[in-house]
């Protein structure tokens, strides 16, 4: 004789597999969303660094055109980084304006790495080589990534 087993709603609920996908999604979705935001944040930081590198290269190209004023080169780097120049920089968010330092220095060909005067001749009446070093830096403020400095430097020979 067969005995009837009555099923209770609690027993049916415990055996049911309906809704497991929704529970798994509810657990993994926030983790995936946070990961997506962090990857986007890192991508924006890399983009800022590339933009700063491009601005420093623009300043180096400007220096190669016989510009001897460090303030003008620094202004050109800031203009390249922000798209604004001179008085228009007042309209730009100050966190987007990089700190720029342009410095000219000279070296004699027979003593690379040693500073030399740009106005006197080197040994053998050789004109010293002139270089511009352009350094730019700014802070990156991320959504999840803590604030950190982005820096770049380029050195170009002009003579």
Residues 6+ apart with CB under 8 A from 153: 56, 133, 134, 135, 136
**Calpha distance 120→97 (Å, rounded):** 37
**Calpha distance 64→116 (Å, rounded):** 20
Question: What radius of gyration, in Å, describes the C-alpha atoms of the chain?
Answer: 30
Confidence of residue 111 (pLDDT cuts 50, 70, 90): confident
pLDDT (tens digit, 9 = 90+) per residue, 132-149? 899 999 998 888 888 889
Whether residue 1 has pLDDT greater than 90 = no
Please choose, from the candidates 85, 137, 131, 82, the residue with its C-alpha nearest in 3D space to the C-alpha of residue 105: 131
Of all residues in the chain, the percent with pLDDT exceeding 70 is 84
Confidence of residue 74 (pLDDT cuts 50, 70, 90): confident
Whether residue 129 has pLDDT greater than 60 = yes
């Amino acid at each position: 004789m067969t005995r009837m087993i009555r099923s209770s709603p609690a027993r049916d609920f415990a055996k049911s597999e309906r809704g497991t996908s929704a529970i798994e999604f509810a657990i993994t979705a926030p983790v995936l969303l946070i990961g997506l935001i962090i990857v986007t944040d890192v991508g924006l930081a890399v983009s800022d660094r590339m933009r700063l590198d491009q601005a420093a290269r623009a300043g180096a190209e400007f220096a190669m055109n016989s510009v001897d004023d460090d303030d003008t080169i620094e202004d050109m780097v800031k203009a390249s980084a922000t798209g604004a120049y001179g008085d228009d920089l007042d309209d730009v968010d100050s966190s987007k304006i990089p700190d720029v330092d342009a410095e000219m220095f000279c070296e004699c060909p027979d003593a690379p790495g040693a500073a030399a005067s740009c106005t006197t001749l080197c040994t053998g009446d050789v004109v010293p080589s002139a270089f511009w070093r352009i350094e730019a830096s700014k802070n990156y403020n991320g959504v999840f990534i803590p604030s950190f400095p982005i820096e770049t430097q380029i050195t170009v020979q002009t003579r």
